[in-house]
Structure 1
């Protein structure tokens, strides 16, 4: 039986598929990579994971971006420890992608041009009062004014990619910045 995903057989083609699917996640709201899970470590040491929206994927620069409210817990996590991980499960491709990254938090003038392109309805996600995660009296006891001062971009410098293809024969590979992105096969 032929594998329906021949790209999984080669290190270079598998790596290309990972980035192609990340870029598709930025452009297509129905793509699996549109909503990756972002993991951080809270200052108290507990892991934290949440779904985010992938907003940029640059394979040449090895950068990814997500947007967030500056008052969200993930900002405190990343200020204490700038390392993060992204996880994408693409069921149609039978592909799990895990990405290790170092985050830079951008705000203010550094993100003004990006804020200008955020559609009006989406702007309400930045500036929630009280701050995200604050206990409230009932489910709707909050306000969502669009506040450009609360808008932050997390620029994620990719440090490593681990991809597992669950085809007829499972394959796993890893690429790391420190090795010049030379891929290596791993036992799945």
Structure 2
């Protein structure tokens, strides 16, 4: 049976396809990789998952970037435990990508040039009052007050990638930074 996605047949081509799709997610607001699910663990040990916007993907460095409000719960989670998981489902490619990473929280001068490129409508997401997750009396009892001091970049250093292609013949592979991204087939 011919696989409609020949890139899924080889370890190297599958890995390259994952990174190509991540890069496409940064550039194309309609691409499935644009809005991955980011999972953290609260200081109390509860898992948390939320949709984020992928803002950077550098395959050579093995790094992804996401923007966030410094006052958001995910930042508190990451200060307690910097390990995260990222999940992307691409229905058209029948490809699930799960990524394990270590997050660094960048703020202030380290992100000033990035903040300068954030369009005004998007700046509304950084600096709302009260801070994200604060209980409020009414659904609209908050104010959008763009504030560069509340802007943060989460730099995710990828540690491992688990890719599952659900084609006519299911295939699964794992890639790790420690092996130089050399793939290993896994039972799907």
- Normalising to structure 1: TM-score of the pair? 0.99
Instruction: Supply the distance in 1 between the matched residues of 2:138 and 2:47 (Cα, whole angstroms).
Output: 27
Q: Considering only aligned residues, what root-mean-square deviation do their CA atoms show, in Å?
A: 0.5
1:171 alignment counterpart: 171
2:23 alignment counterpart: 23
Instruction: Supply the distance in 1 between the matched residues of 2:177 and 2:2 (Cα, whole angstroms).
Output: 33
Count of aligned residue pairs for this structure pair: 188
SS of residue in 1 equivalent to 2:162: strand
2:155 alignment counterpart: 155
Instruction: Supply the distance in 1 between the matched residues of 2:25 and 2:89 (Cα, whole angstroms).
Output: 12
Residues 132-147 of structure 1 correspond to what in structure 2 (within 5 A)?
Answer: 132-147=132-147
1:81 alignment counterpart: 81
Instruction: Supply the distance in 1 between the matched residues of 2:187 and 2:144 (Cα, whole angstroms).
Output: 47
Instruction: Supply the distance in 2 between the matched residues of 1:113 and 1:134 (Cα, whole angstroms).
Output: 29
Instruction: Supply the distance in 2 between the matched residues of 1:23 and 1:75 (Cα, whole angstroms).
Output: 24
1:91 alignment counterpart: 91
Instruction: Supply the distance in 2 between the matched residues of 1:14 and 1:4 (Cα, whole angstroms).
Output: 13
SS of residue in 2 equivalent to 1:137: coil
Long gaps (5+) in structure 1: none
Instruction: Supply the distance in 1 between the matched residues of 2:167 and 2:158 (Cα, whole angstroms).
Output: 26
- Deviation of 1:183 after TM superposition, in Å, equals 0.4
SS of residue in 2 equivalent to 1:93: coil
Instruction: Supply the distance in 2 between the matched residues of 1:29 and 1:182 (Cα, whole angstroms).
Output: 30
- Deviation of 1:161 after TM superposition, in Å, equals 0.2
Residues 31-46 of structure 1 correspond to what in structure 2 (within 5 A)?
Answer: 31-46=31-46
Instruction: Render the CA deviation track for 1:101-158: whole Å, top value 9, x for unaligned.
Output: 0000000000000000000000000001001000001000000111000000000000
**Is 1:72 the counterpart of 2:69 in the alignment?**
no
Instruction: Supply the distance in 2 between the matched residues of 1:183 and 1:172 (Cα, whole angstroms).
Output: 10
Instruction: Render the CA deviation track for 1:42-101: whole Å, top value 9, x for unaligned.
Output: 000000000000000000000000000000000000000000010000000000000000
Structure 1 segments of 4+ aligned residues over 2 angstroms from their partners: none
Instruction: Supply the distance in 1 between the matched residues of 2:75 and 2:138 (Cα, whole angstroms).
Output: 25
- Normalising to structure 2: TM-score of the pair? 0.99
